[in-house]
Structure 1
């Protein structure tokens, strides 16, 4: 069972997402929040596996709520729900600590896939948002190559697989190492790259040429 907290200031949106998730028995909505401040409090209280956060919310917007949630409840994966009218916020959202980015207008199957991926410790971008991110990535960026050049050979292998969207368990199987060791590598990579989350690390992997666009 994947425990989900849903945060959106529009009751109809919350009801719609809740109804979509009810189709799959593996998902359980444990709490709902109408603003970012409440989302932080309820996440701390319920300790969900995944938090679905609207970017634009009162009292505390989704970006700041995501940063606070990842700081205080690091076990909870955060997925930002957005529309393309929020595209000016997407770049900022990449540094919020969120591990997933989904369009509210996307296919419900994307929602299921995103929640499953983030619950397993992977990053997930809606295909349209991924396309936007790639278009704003500069392959071969010198700064990215320099950052990646400071990693060990094994860390670069792990980073390349993070860039492909693999979870820690999947990376462990691919490299024949235990999941705990992968977590250690990922933590070291994030520190070396000076980023707070796997999405930013994946973008650097693209920029450095470790992942084929």
Structure 2
């Protein structure tokens, strides 16, 4: 996976490059320090994935993400930021970001965000997942008959998805392999007729499951 880092903090930029370069499947193909630079590097290098900050000089990461996605919709974008306001999270996802990860979180969570984005899913950091999903929860439950199709194990997995946990974290909680959890997640999405984990969580919240 060819990765572009868009980050204005030199120490954070260096740390990301060193951490991700440890993985043989990742190649850091470029770096940019502001939104306009990120757009230009994306157009020039056409990376598979961009790790993008929000608080960038000249042009913020949300606006840069929107412009990149309009021109290069196949590039996956992972927001890595200290911004946790609900409006910023929603704006980032609406602009086309595939994942939202909080700075200071474990490297495992960033890797989970990258993996989810690569697979075409949406990842929300557990720190802000509940914030966003609660905003989508209506005052009265809306029953969803498809939930009855889920097995007891799939319901357990779905509840942990709502908590914003990654596949690895769910596997640890339920003492199962990550591959088994991935199978359950696919089964949940198929039975609920949704495209990603966030939509599955929204169905659970709207139905009053959690």
TM-score between the two structures when normalised by the length of structure 1: 0.68
The equivalent of 1:56 in structure 2 is 55
Report the Cα distance in structure 2 between the residues aligned to 1:22 and 1:130, rounded to whole angstroms. 28
Please tell me whether the aligned partners of residues 83 and 103 of structure 1 are also in contact (alpha carbons under 8 angstroms).
Answer: yes
The verdict on how the C-alpha distance between 1:8 and 1:174 changes in structure 2, with shifts beyond 3 A counting, is: same
Shift of 1:94: 2.6
The verdict on how the C-alpha distance between 1:42 and 1:94 changes in structure 2, with shifts beyond 3 A counting, is: same
The verdict on how the C-alpha distance between 1:141 and 1:95 changes in structure 2, with shifts beyond 3 A counting, is: farther
Please tell me whether the aligned partners of residues 94 and 199 of structure 1 are also in contact (alpha carbons under 8 angstroms).
Answer: no
How many residues get paired?
A: 181
Query: Does the alignment pair 1:136 with 2:129?
Result: no
The verdict on how the C-alpha distance between 1:98 and 1:212 changes in structure 2, with shifts beyond 3 A counting, is: farther
Shift of 1:171: 9.2
The verdict on how the C-alpha distance between 1:94 and 1:199 changes in structure 2, with shifts beyond 3 A counting, is: farther
The verdict on how the C-alpha distance between 1:172 and 1:90 changes in structure 2, with shifts beyond 3 A counting, is: closer
Report the Cα distance in structure 1 between the residues aligned to 2:209 and 2:30, rounded to whole angstroms. 39
The equivalent of 1:123 in structure 2 is 122
Q: Which segments of structure 1 move beyond 2 Å, counting only runs of 4 or more?
A: 84-88, 134-137, 139-142, 162-166, 169-175, 198-209
Report the Cα distance in structure 2 between the residues aligned to 1:125 and 1:28, rounded to whole angstroms. 24
The equivalent of 2:33 in structure 1 is 34
RMSD: 3.6
Structure with bigger gyration radius: 2
Shift of 1:207: 5.2
Question: Gapped runs of 5+ residues in structure 2?
Answer: 151-157, 168-181
TM-score between the two structures when normalised by the length of structure 2: 0.69
The verdict on how the C-alpha distance between 1:171 and 1:54 changes in structure 2, with shifts beyond 3 A counting, is: same
Alignment of 1:87-166 (within 5 A): 88-139=87-138
Report the Cα distance in structure 2 between the residues aligned to 1:135 and 1:173, rounded to whole angstroms. 23
Shift of 1:108: 0.5
Report the Cα distance in structure 2 between the residues aligned to 1:206 and 1:140, rounded to whole angstroms. 14
